[in-house]
Amino acid sequence: MGWLTKVLGRRDRDAALPLYDAVIARARAPHWYLDGAVPDTLDGRFDMVAAVLAMVLLRLEEDPHDAEPIARLTERFVDDMDAQVRQIGFGDMVVGKHVGRMMGMLGGRLGAYRDGLAGGDFDAALVRNLYRGQAPDAAAVTHVRRELTAFRESLNGVPLLQLMEGRWA
């Protein structure tokens, strides 16, 4: 039995729902789209969710416990993306392909953000992944960098149970 199962007493996808809901709420904050110039489009919102989710996943990677919290959070992401793709109107035949592409995009962003934070070239990772290669003005990138790195650093002191409950403040 995994750590998360012991703590929350259940082994289902809903175990990470409070955390995933908190990720979505943070990614929808207006300042990303206003001060950060993230495009307020379907792609821009996906990219912002992926950026915030990546910061949380990077925090979870550092936890000495099992990988169950990461698995549960990623399952919530897959469920949400599946629902979003279906809501847009994609048929059953292509939903899996699109969700698979989104998972690949999340994985790519996770690696790029991990490397960018470690190597000090986070701005380049943001321009490539969050702005899809179209850099906004420097103040917007600075805003997003500052906010995401502060968020990532603030997660370090949050106990795992509190994090899984969607509480990081």
3-state secondary structure the chain: CCHHHHHHCCCCHHHHHHHHHHHHHHHCCHHHHHCCCCCCCHHHHHHHHHHHHHHHHHHHHCCCCCCHHHHHHHHHHHHHHHHHHHHHCCCHHHHHHHHHHHHHHHHHHHHHHHHHHHHCCHHHHHHHHCCCCCCCCHHHHHHHHHHHHHHHHHHCCCCHHHHHCCCCC
Distance between the two ends of the chain, CA-based, in angstroms?
29
Q: What pLDDT is recorded for position 4? A: 47
Residue 69 makes CB contacts below 8 A (sequence gap 6+) with 3, 4, 16, 60, 63, 160, 163, 164
Per residue in 47-74, pLDDT tens?
999 999 999 999 999 876 667 888 888 8
Per residue in 19-37, pLDDT tens?
989 999 999 999 999 999 9
Q: d(Cα 71, Cα 51) in Å, to the nearest integer?
A: 17
Note if the pTM is more than 0.75: yes
Q: Which residues of the chain have pLDDT under 70?
A: 1-13, 64-66, 81-100, 102-103
Q: What pLDDT is recorded for position 77? A: 74
Q: d(Cα 37, Cα 14) in Å, to the nearest integer?
A: 33
